[in-house]
Amino acid sequence: MKKYRKTLIAIVVLLLLAGTGCARQQPADDTSASTESPQLELTLEELAAYNGKDGNPAYIAVDGVIYDVSDSSKWKDGEHNGYSARQDLTDIIKSKSPHGVSVLSRMPVVGKIVE
């Protein structure tokens, strides 16, 4: 019986130590936001630099949110169906686009428009 008791005590001690080690690895507060890329805050004038040309990323704004469309094959060189990246396309996407805002969920959000 003593043999089992020592084994049980050893297991409890190991579990306690393992639990303590895990607790130390977790941050004290929620720092998940710190692992995300920082969000840009751009005016519409600043957004104009992100045209998808000459090595610049292609950004569009819709409802104040800035999306990176650089990796989309539909936005080659910052152009798509006669429209250019670097601008607020809220009205165009909501009123003229056959897909509407649905495809934006596949685009990375990189920031927001500020005044």
Question: Residue 34 — pLDDT band, cuts 50, 70, 90?
Answer: very low
Mean pLDDT of 43-50: 98
What does the radius of gyration of the chain's CA atoms come to, in whole angstroms? Answer: 25
Q: Which CATH superfamily hosts domain 38-113?
A: Cytochrome b5-like heme/steroid binding domain (3.10.120.10)
User: How much is the pLDDT for 108?
Assistant: 97
Determine the Cα–Cα distance for residues 52 and 17; give it in Å rounded to an integer: 53
Residue at 25: amino acid letter: Q
Question: Residue 65 — pLDDT band, cuts 50, 70, 90?
Answer: very high
User: How much is the pLDDT for 7?
Assistant: 64
Long-range contacts of 68-73 (CB under 8 A, 24+ apart): 68/107, 68/108, 68/109, 68/110, 69/107, 72/107
